[in-house]
C-alpha cells in the first residue's frame, strides 16, 4: 500500500480533533498536513480553551492561502479536507481546488446556528424553517456533489442537512469528534454521600437550555440532589437570580469556568450528565461524559446524542425545550439509583466506538469507498 497525502484545513487547534489527527499522523499509510487559518476567539478562551499555539510537526499556522500553498509544495497531490464553508478562507480555497482539479472533501457539523440564534433558539420555529434555510445552501451542495470526492458528516443531524442540500447519500460518511479527558476516570466515584449530583458542562445561555435545566431541577421530587453548572454564565446574573427565585440555591452550585485539563475532577465527583441544549452541531462534552463513565441525558437538537446515547442503555435523548420530559429523565435516576452505575459503565462501552483509532478507520474506509487507491 502507498501513502496517501492529505491536508486538513481547520480554523483553530481543538481538543476535539487533536487526538484523531495525532492518530492519523502516526498511521503508516497517511502523509498528513494540517493548516490552521484563524485564531481562538475570546469566547472560547473564556470557556477554558487554550490560546497557546504550539504546533506539531504536521501542523502549520497560515496567514493567507497563498503563503499556505507556498509552504506545501505538493498541495496538488494531496486530498484536502475542508472544515465547513462558512469561513471566508474556505470560500477562496474551494474554488481554487475545483479550478485546479485537486481532490477535496467537505467535513462539518450541521448548519443553522445563525438561524437558531435569530429565532432566539425557539425549537419549534427552527424545525419549521430549517428546510427552507437549507435551500439557501444548495449552491454549495451542488459543488460538493459535482466536484468533491465526498462529504464527512459530524453525525446524523449533519447528514440530514447535507441530504437537503442536494448531496447524495452515497457521498456522505460519518467522521466524528473524538474528545477524551486528560486523565483516566476510576470506576469508583469519589462522591460517597447519599446524594445524586447532576452535572452540566458548557456555556450557561439560552442556546444551551440553562433555564430549562433549572426549571426541571426545581421539579424533581426529592431533596438529596445537587446540580453542578460548569461554564461561563452569559446571562449577566439572571440565572443566579432565577436560582434564588426558585429557592434551590442550596442545591445548585455554579462552578464557573474550569480548564479542559482540570475538568476530569468535576466529572469524577458527579453522577449523571445533563445537556439540555436547544442547538448543538455535535456537543463534544457528551464524549467527555461517556469517557468519564456517566449516564447521559441530552436533547434531540444535540448531534452527539444520536450516537453517544443509546436510549435506556447508557442514558436518554428527549425533545429539546420539553421541560416535563427532562424532569422525567432526571427523576428516573433519582428513583432508580442502581441504574446510575449500570448506565455509567455502559457509557464506557459506547464510547469505545468513538476513539481516535476507530475514527481513523472510518476515514480510511471512506476514502476507499470514494475510489482512493491505497
Q: Edge-to-edge strands of the sheet including 315-318?
A: 252-256, 225-230, 196-201, 272-275, 296-299, 315-318
Percent of the chain with pLDDT over 90: 83
Q: What is the pLDDT of residues 143-183, one digit of tens each?
A: 999 999 999 999 999 999 999 999 999 999 999 998 776 55
What pLDDT does residue 43 have?
53
What's the CA gap between 23 and 357, in Å, rounded? Answer: 6
What pLDDT does residue 14 have?
86
- 81 pairs with which residues across the strands? 8, 105
**What residue ranges define each of the domains in the chain, with the CATH number in brackets?**
4-178+355-369 (3.40.50.2000), 196-353 (3.40.50.2000)
Helices (H), 297-337: 323-335
What pLDDT does residue 190 have?
52
pLDDT band, residue 260 (cuts 50/70/90)? confident
Q: What is the pLDDT of residues 70-83, one digit of tens each?
A: 999 999 999 999 99
**pLDDT > 90? residue 262:** no
What's the CA gap between 354 and 188, in Å, rounded? Answer: 23
Residue burial 195-217, b: 16+ Cβ < 10 Å; e: rest = ebbbbbbbbbbbbbbbbbbbbbb
What pLDDT does residue 40 have?
60
pLDDT band, residue 193 (cuts 50/70/90)? low
**pLDDT > 80? residue 42:** no
Q: Among residues 312, 306, 300, which one has the least CA distance to residue 346?
A: 312
What's the CA gap between 279 and 321, in Å, rounded? Answer: 10
Supply the DSSP string of 17-68, one letter for each residue. Answer: HHHHHHHHHTSTTEEEEEEE-S---HHHHHTT--------TTEEE-SSHHHH
- Whole-angstrom Cα Rg for the chain: 21
Q: Edge-to-edge strands of the sheet including 150-153?
A: 59-61, 30-36, 4-10, 79-83, 104-108, 150-153, 172-174
Please provide the distance, in angstroms rounded to a whole number, between the alpha carbons at the two ends of the chain: 5
Neighbour count for residue 146 (Cβ, 10 Å): 9
DSSP-assigned letter for residue 141: H
Mean pLDDT, the chain, whole residue set: 92
Q: What is the pLDDT of residues 7-31, one digit of tens each?
A: 999 999 888 899 999 999 999 999 9
The residue length of the chain stands at 374
Burial class (CB in 10 A: 0-12, 13-18, 19+), 357: middle
Q: Average of pLDDT values for 179-199? A: 67
Q: Among residues 11, 41, 16, 6, which one has the least CA distance to residue 287?
A: 16
Q: What is the pTM of this model?
A: 0.92
pLDDT band, residue 50 (cuts 50/70/90)? low
Q: Average of pLDDT values for 91-111? A: 97
**pLDDT > 80? residue 95:** yes
Q: What is the pLDDT of residues 269-309, one digit of tens each?
A: 999 999 999 999 999 999 999 999 999 999 999 999 999 99
Cα 128 versus chain centre, distance? 23
Amino acid at each position: 500500500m502507498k501513502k496517501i497525502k492529505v491536508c486538513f484545513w481547520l480554523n483553530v487547534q481543538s481538543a476535539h480533533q487533536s487526538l484523531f489527527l495525532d492518530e492519523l499522523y502516526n498511521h503508516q499509510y497517511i502523509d498528513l498536513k494540517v493548516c490552521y487559518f484563524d485564531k481562538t476567539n475570546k469566547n472560547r478562551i473564556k470557556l477554558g480553551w487554550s490560546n497557546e499555539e504550539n504546533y506539531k510537526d504536521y501542523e502549520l499556522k497560515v496567514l493567507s492561502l497563498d503563503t499556505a500553498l507556498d509552504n506545501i509544495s505538493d498541495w496538488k497531490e494531496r486530498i484536502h479536507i475542508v472544515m465547513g464553508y462558512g469561513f471566508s478562507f474556505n470560500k477562496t480555497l474551494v474554488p481554487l481546488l475545483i479550478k485546479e482539479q485537486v481532490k477535496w472533501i467537505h467535513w462539518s457539523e450541521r448548519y443553522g446556528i445563525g438561524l437558531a440564534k435569530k429565532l432566539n433558539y425557539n425549537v419549534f420555529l427552527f424545525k419549521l424553517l430549517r428546510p427552507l434555510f437549507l435551500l439557501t445552501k444548495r449552491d454549495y451542495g451542488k459543488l460538493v456533489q459535482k466536484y468533491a470526492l465526498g462529504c464527512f458528516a459530524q453525525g446524523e443531524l449533519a447528514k440530514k442537512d447535507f441530504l437537503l442540500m442536494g448531496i447524495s447519500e452515497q457521498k456522505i460518511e460519518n467522521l466524528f469528534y473524538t474528545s477524551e479527558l486528560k486523565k483516566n476516570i476510576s470506576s469508583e466515584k469519589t462522591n460517597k454521600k447519599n446524594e445524586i449530583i447532576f452535572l452540566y458542562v458548557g456555556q450557561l445561555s439560552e442556546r444551551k437550555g440553562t433555564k430549562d435545566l433549572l426549571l426541571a431541577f426545581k421539579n424533581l421530587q426529592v431533596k438529596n440532589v445537587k446540580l453542578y453548572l460548569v461554564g461561563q454564565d452569559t446571562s449577566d446574573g439572571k440565572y443566579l437570580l432565577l436560582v434564588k427565585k426558585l429557592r434551590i440555591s442550596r442545591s445548585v452550585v455554579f462552578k464557573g469556568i474550569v480548564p479542559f485539563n482540570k475538568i476530569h475532577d468535576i466529572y469524577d465527583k458527579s453522577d449523571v450528565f445533563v445537556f439540555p441544549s436547544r442547538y448543538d452541531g455535535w456537543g463534544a462534552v457528551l464524549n467527555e461524559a461517556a469517557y468519564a463513565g456517566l449516564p447521559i441525558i441530552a436533547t434531540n437538537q444535540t448531534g452527539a446524542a444520536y450516537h453517544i446515547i443509546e436510549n435506556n442503555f447508557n442514558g436518554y435523548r428527549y425533545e429539546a425545550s420539553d421541560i416535563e420530559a427532562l424532569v422525567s429523565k432526571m427523576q428516573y435516576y433519582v428513583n432508580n439509583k442502581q441504574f446510575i452505575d449500570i448506565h455509567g459503565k455502559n457509557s464506557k462501552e459506547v464510547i469505545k466506538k468513538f476513539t481516535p483509532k476507530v475514527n481513523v478507520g472510518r476515514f480510511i474506509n471512506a476514502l476507499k469507498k470514494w475510489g482512493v487507491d491505497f
